[in-house]
């Protein structure tokens, strides 16, 4: 009888034969125990047993208590390592950020003519993917075919993964079309690859033609739609998923909540939240953050706060989502309070958190507080301000009318200012009618980003506000000559689970005739309140009557008319707009909230406006 001491609490005596050693290895739970067993194997000559050595290698590579260096030491002492041993070591190196070593080991395997099997290639190809080593991938692909594994779905899927993850969809498609054996993973990889490339039509064709779909198939398509900015399609597919009786995973739910956030689809977001509770899905930090973000961006901060408070584990992303929510709603004091609370409970703010809190200061005009927070990034938190933080500060100073100080900050930036930073200064020039500086900044932006229609429009608006119509027309003419188009205004309103979109000046909605009649009725009541359209900044070569007709067809006005038509008196109207709300629409919405006794919550490109009783929470500064 030979004694093996596994640990102070695990002592046993056994005959050190292969069967008993295998049993002990299977119960092994730490590297200390494994090393003791391996030492006994060395003493008794059992290191010649391929099965036992393979078990040792597997523990070292796969166990969370394993040790890759010890695995290599064991491997190097084996006289002729088996295919399984090589595969195990290749897997270990691939999964532990040592892809080069995995490829070198494969070369060693080839040099010694060690046989391959279908399990040799997946982790080898994972190493290629980590290195973006396309030449090596092609060589291994040739080996797969040459060695007769071209019909093995395990090897084929590994190749598809390398090609699709590196964007080589032509190679992936060629391989997919050539193989006879495909499984659901093969189809999912193709969908994922096309989705990553933004080719959602092709991705959907694969999805539609799949013999069998699983939850990953649905999730990949939904996530792909969200990544491509096709939010309505994502919601539609999620609804189809429900009809088909497929239970969504957390990734699908998180992606769909993101779509709700972008569309302002509060009804759908609430339904998803109720569904999560109904089927008993645990709301982890990622899902909790998605729900908080959805409620905040759909205009319901009270519900966002409720979700936040219920989360047991509050990570920095969740705190940031809440703070940013208060920021874009113009509730800076609450944003600052939560920012302070966050640090008191030991959560360190990251760069996104600072962007959120500086945004809060900017939208509420808290110049001194914003400056203090900006300085604290380096002074207190020992970090360097990023370009987005400089952008927030330029926006803060610019909105406050401190244009020269904002310009000075840009000139002192340690990195080259980007279009966002200059754009913040240009916006401030428009607000404060600083034509000279605005013209310089506008021309600089047009030169740096000549395909961005918004730059020309901004520049033209600055000239128009100053009464310099010749220069305003010149900016528009240059825009037209370069073939640059302005992003059309689009407003969306979600009712009863359906997102209704309105484009400025169009009549594409099924109820367009009723909507325009409703607007005529609204216009009459506005006129009685003394409203006069702000035509002075409308850069169209039209007479005043035609200009008035054009300004009355702005997308948010159509959405308001639709909301008044389709909702009960007293109901809050929620609208999402893709552009900054114009001065005239802002004035009109304030009046409509008073005349019709409605609260209207509107999210434009940068922030929320809560209109009620003829007032707006932005204080007419946006």
Q: What is the CA radius of gyration of the chain?
A: 31
pLDDT digits (tens, 9 = 90+) for 346-397: 999 999 999 999 999 999 999 999 999 999 999 999 999 999 999 999 999 9
Residue 7 φ/ψ, nearest 5 degrees: -170, 170
Please state, as a whole number, how many other Cβ atoms lie within 10 Å of the Cβ of residue 399. 22
Reported residue count of the chain is: 622
Whether 313 shows a pLDDT value over 80: the answer reads yes
Q: What is the pTM of this model?
A: 0.85
Please tell me the predicted confidence (pLDDT) of residue 549: 62
pLDDT digits (tens, 9 = 90+) for 212-263: 999 999 999 999 999 999 999 999 999 999 999 999 999 999 999 999 999 9
pLDDT digits (tens, 9 = 90+) for 290-307: 999 999 999 999 999 999
Whether 13 shows a pLDDT value over 50: the answer reads no
Q: Which of 101, 110, 65 is nearest to 83 (CA)?
A: 110
Do 186 and 160 form a contact (C-beta atoms < 8 A)?
yes
Please tell me the predicted confidence (pLDDT) of residue 542: 47
Whether 539 shows a pLDDT value over 60: the answer reads no
φ/ψ region of 172 (left if φ > 0, alpha if ψ in -120 to 50, else beta) reads alpha
pLDDT-based confidence at 543, cuts 50/70/90? very low
Please tell me the predicted confidence (pLDDT) of residue 621: 80
pLDDT digits (tens, 9 = 90+) for 458-509: 888 888 777 788 888 888 889 988 888 888 889 999 998 889 999 988 888 9
pLDDT-based confidence at 593, cuts 50/70/90? very high
Whether 600 shows a pLDDT value over 70: the answer reads yes
Whether 336 shows a pLDDT value over 90: the answer reads yes
Q: Which of 609, 411, 383, 379 is nearest to 393 (CA)?
A: 411
Average pLDDT over residues 543-552: 58
Please tell me the predicted confidence (pLDDT) of residue 4: 46
Q: How far apart are the first and last CA of the chain?
A: 85
DSSP assigned state of 524: H
The three-state secondary structure class of 9 is coil
Whether 117 shows a pLDDT value over 80: the answer reads yes
183-312 adopts what CATH topology? 1.25.40
CATH class of 386-486: mainly alpha
> In whole numbers, what is the pLDDT of the chain averaged over residues?
91
Average pLDDT over residues 307-315: 96
Please tell me the predicted confidence (pLDDT) of residue 224: 98
pLDDT digits (tens, 9 = 90+) for 565-584: 999 999 999 999 999 998 89
pLDDT digits (tens, 9 = 90+) for 166-184: 999 999 999 999 998 899 9
- 183-312 and 386-486 have identical folds: yes
Residue 487 φ/ψ, nearest 5 degrees: -60, 120
If one compares 187 and 41, the residue with the highest pLDDT of the two is 187
Whether 12 shows a pLDDT value over 50: the answer reads no
Whether 161 shows a pLDDT value over 50: the answer reads yes
CA distance 164 to 171: 8
CA distance 406 to 422: 10
Average pLDDT over residues 423-439: 91
pLDDT-based confidence at 521, cuts 50/70/90? very high
Sign of CA pseudo-dihedral 31, 33, 39, 44: negative
Average pLDDT over residues 405-415: 96
pLDDT-based confidence at 7, cuts 50/70/90? very low
For the chain, the structural domain boundaries read: 80-179, 183-312, 314-368, 386-486, 490-616
CA distance 162 to 616: 53
Average pLDDT over residues 423-450: 90
Q: Above pLDDT 70, what percent of the chain?
A: 95
Sign of CA pseudo-dihedral 44, 47, 51, 53: positive
pLDDT-based confidence at 536, cuts 50/70/90? low
């Amino acid at each position: 009888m030979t004694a093996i001491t596994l640990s102070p609490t695990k002592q046993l005596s056994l005959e050190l034969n292969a069967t008993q050693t295998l049993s002990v290895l299977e119960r092994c739970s730490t590297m200390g125990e494994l090393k003791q067993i391996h030492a006994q194997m060395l003493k008794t000559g059992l290191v010649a047993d391929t099965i036992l050595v393979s078990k040792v290698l597997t523990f070292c590579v796969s166990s969370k208590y394993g040790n890759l260096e010890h695995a290599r030491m064991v491997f190097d002492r084996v006289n002729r390592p088996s295919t399984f041993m090589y595969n195990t070591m290749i897997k270990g190196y691939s999964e532990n950020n040592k892809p080069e070593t995995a490829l070198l080991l494969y070369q060693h395997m080839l040099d010694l003519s060690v046989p391959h099997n279908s399990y040799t290639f997946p982790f080898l190809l994972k190493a290629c993917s980590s290195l973006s080593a396309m030449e090596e991938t092609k060589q291994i692909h040739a080996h797969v075919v040459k060695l007769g594994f071209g019909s093995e779905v395990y090897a084929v899927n590994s190749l598809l993964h390398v090609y699709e993850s590196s964007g080589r969809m032509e190679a992936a498609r060629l391989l997919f079309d050539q193989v006879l054996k495909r499984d659901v993973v093969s189809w999912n990889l193709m969908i994922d690859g096309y989705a990553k490339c933004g080719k959602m039509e092709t991705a959907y064709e694969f999805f539609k033609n799949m013999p069998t779909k699983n939850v990953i198939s649905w999730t990949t398509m939904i996530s792909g739609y969200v990544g491509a900015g096709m939010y309505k399609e994502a919601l539609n597919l999620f609804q189809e998923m429900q009809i088909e009786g497929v239970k969504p995973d957390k990734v699908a739910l998180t992606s769909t909540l993101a779509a709700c956030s972008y569309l302002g689809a509060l009804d759908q977001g609430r339904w998803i939240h109720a569904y999560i509770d109904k089927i008993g899905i645990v709301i982890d930090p990622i899902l909790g953050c998605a729900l908080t973000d959805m409620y905040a961006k759909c205009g319901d901060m009270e519900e966002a706060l409720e979700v936040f408070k219920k989360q047991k584990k509050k990570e920095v992303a969740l705190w940031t989502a809440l703070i940013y929510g208060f920021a874009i709603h113009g509730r800076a004091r609450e944003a600052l309070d939560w920012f302070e609370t966050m640090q008191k409970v030991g959560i360190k703010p990251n760069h996104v958190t600072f962007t959120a809190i500086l945004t809060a200061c900017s939208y509420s005009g808290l110049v001194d507080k914003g400056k203090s927070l900006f300085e604290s990034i380096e002074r207190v938190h020992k970090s360097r301000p990023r370009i987005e933080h400089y952008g927030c500060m330029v926006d803060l100073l610019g909105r406050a009318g401190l244009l020269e100080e904002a310009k000075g900050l840009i000139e002192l930036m340690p990195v080259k200012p980007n279009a966002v930073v200059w754009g913040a200064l240009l916006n401030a020039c428009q607000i404060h009618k600083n034509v000279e500086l605005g013209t310089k900044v506008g021309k600089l932006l047009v030169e740096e980003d000549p395909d961005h229609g918004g730059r020309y429009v901004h520049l033209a608006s600055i000239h128009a506000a100053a009464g310099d119509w010749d220069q305003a027309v010149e900016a528009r003419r240059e825009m037209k000559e370069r073939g640059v188009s302005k992003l059309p205004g689009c407003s969306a309103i979600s009712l009863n689970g359906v997102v209704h979109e309105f484009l400025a000046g169009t009549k594409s909605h099924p109820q367009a005739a009723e909507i325009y009649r409703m607007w005529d009725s609204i216009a009459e009541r506005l006129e009685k309140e003394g409203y006069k359209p702000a035509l002075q900044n409308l850069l169209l070569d039209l007479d005043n009557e035609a200009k008035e007709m054009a300004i009355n067809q702005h997308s948010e006005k159509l959405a308001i008319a639709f909301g008044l038509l389709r909702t009960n008196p007293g109901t809050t109207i929620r609208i999402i707009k893709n552009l900054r709300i114009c001065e005239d629409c802002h004035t009109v919405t304030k009046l409509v909230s008073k005349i019709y006794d409605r609260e209207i919550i509107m999210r434009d490109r940068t922030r929320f406006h809560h209109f009620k009783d003829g007032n707006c929470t932005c204080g007419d500064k946006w």
